[in-house]
Each structure stands twice: as structure tokens, then as C-alpha cells.
Amino acid sequence: MLNAEKTQYALKVMGEMFPKAHGELIYHSPFQLLIAVILSAQATDVSVNKATPALFAAFPTAEKLAAAPLDEIMTKIKTIGLYRTKSKNIKACATIIATEYDGMVPNDRKILESLPGVGRKTANVVLAEAYGVPAIAVDTHVERVSKRLRICKLDATVSEVEKTLMRKLPKEEWIKDHHRMIFFGRYHCLARNPKCDICPLLDICQDGKLRMKKRT
């Protein structure tokens, strides 16, 4: 297991590799960000970004999405996985925001997590990106990188991964580190073919060392 010092070193290296790491979902308001993140569950940011321009052009606000016919919403996002369920969730979510919060996305974790289709990861993304609240959203990339580098235990739950990262990383770096880990996992430490042979973190990566040993 990497201690806090080595974990912070690993994130520093990731930052050097990806100095412009950032959220890749396209949106123009906290509400649109919330909808985009809901749609990104079990889907790629690329697929979401292909669908949301038409969705947001037609229904840019909570009020308009709440009033939209469900079949029209489905038509706009049918290229995204689980689009039927997601259509129902984003319409229901928009309805609550429009009627109970004057169309404004709440800056409150508990309220966000109570919305249809919103879990802790989605709430963390919205809080961090829209409101600058320090948070670490654990997606598949963050979880994979954390476990491969042994920042956390291999059998750690998503919640345990988040708590471990929060404990080992400075709070003021959480948002940046979250993006760094996503870029590192998305473009370098890939799920199927990680670039261990050119990885600057190989010396502290137990998983990488084992992979390289098997190749020889």
C-alpha cells in the first residue's frame, strides 16, 4: 500500500503528464452539468457529448426539460446506453429542481443524492465542477488507478476508495487530483492495455511490475 507521501508523489507525476487535465463533459450551466453526468453513467463522455447539444438546445433549463414529452427526450439521447431509464430520471430530476428549487441545482450533497439518477459520484462531480467544493468522484478510472497503484486495497468498495484518497491527498488538491487520475486512467493506465513499459510510475506500481514480469 502506498503511504500518503508516495500517493501525493504519484499524483504529482500524473499532473506533470497531464497538466491540462479537466472534465470533458460539455455544458453551459450547473443544471446541464448535472444532466450530462447522469447521462454519463455506464457511458463514455464522448457519447454523452454527441447527444447533449441537441438535448440542451431543445431543453436548456430545468423548467423546459421538466415540461418536455418523455418520447422527445428519448429521441434526443437514444444513442446513449440505458437511454430509456435515463430519460425518465433526467425528466424527474428536472421536475424536482424546477418546482422545488426554482430551477437552480442545489449546492448540497444530501439533496443532490436524493434526486433521481444521482448517486455520490454524480453529486461529487457537480459540487466540485459547478461550485468548487472539494470532492473526489470515484469513477471506473479513479478506482482502477487507485487499486493498481495500491493506493487502496484491491477489494476496497467505491466508498472506501474515496475515503482513502481523501485521507491521503490534500483537500485543496482533490478536484485537480480527481481530473489527473481520470486522465491517467483514460489515456495511459488503460483498462486492457496499460502503458506500463513507458510509465513513469512503474517503480512504485506493484501491478505494473507484475505485468512487466509476465511479459519477459
- Quote the cell numbers at residue 188: 495511459
Which of 131, 165, 182 is the last residue before a domain boundary? 131
Is 39 found in the same domain as 11? Answer: no
Q: Are residues 48 and 98 in the same domain?
A: yes
Distance from the Cα of residue 63 to its chain's centroid: 25
Burial of 43 (0-12, 13-18, 19+ CB in 10 A): middle
The answer on 84 and 59 residing in a single domain is: yes
pLDDT at position 37 over 90: yes
- Whose grid coordinates read 443524492? 113
Query: Do 103 and 61 touch, CB atoms closer than 8 A?
Result: yes
99-156 pLDDT, tens digit each: 999 999 999 999 999 999 999 999 999 999 999 999 999 999 999 999 999 999 999 9
Task: Please check whether residue 143 lies inside any domain of the structure.
Answer: yes
Domain assignment present for 64: yes
Structural domain of residue 148, as residue ranges? 4-21+137-211
Q: Is residue 216 in a domain?
A: no
Q: Is the pLDDT of residue 216 over 90?
A: no
Active site annotation includes 139: yes
Compute the residue count for the chain.
Answer: 216
- Which one of 76, 91, 121, 168 is the catalytic residue? 121
What CATH number is given to the structural domain containing 84? 1.10.340.30
Is the residue at 110 inside a domain? yes
Report the predicted TM-score, pTM, of the whole model to 2 decimal places: 0.93
Q: What is the mean pLDDT of the chain?
A: 96
Binding residues: 189, 196, 199, 205
Of 76, 86, 139, 177, the catalytic one is 139
Co-location of 143 and 204 in the same domain:
yes
Last residue of a domain, one of 113, 131, 149: 131
- Specify the residue for cell string 428536472: 94
Binding residues for [4Fe-4S] cluster: 189, 196, 199, 205
Domain shared by 107 and 34, yes or no: yes
b/e sequence 55-89, b meaning 16+ C-beta within 10 Å? bbeebebbbebbebeeeebeebbeebeebeebbeb
Specify if 81 maps to a domain.
yes
Residue 34 lies inside a defined structural domain of this protein: yes
* 50 and 111 share one domain: yes
Q: At what angle do helices 140-148 and 206-215 cross, to 10 degrees?
A: 80
Q: What is d(CA 144, CA 150) in angstroms, rounded to the nearest whole number? A: 10
- Confidence at residue 12, expressed as pLDDT on a 0 to 100 scale: 98
C-alpha cell at 158: 467505491
Predicted local distance difference test score (pLDDT) of residue 215: 80
pLDDT tens figures, 148-207 = 999 999 999 999 999 999 999 999 999 999 999 999 999 999 999 999 999 999 999 989
Please tell me whether residue 201 adopts helix, strand or coil conformation.
Answer: coil
CATH number, domain containing residue 152: 1.10.1670.10
Percent of the chain whose predicted confidence (pLDDT) is above 90: 95
SS3 content of the chain, % helix, strand, coil (to 5): 65, 0, 35
Q: How many domains does the chain have?
A: 2
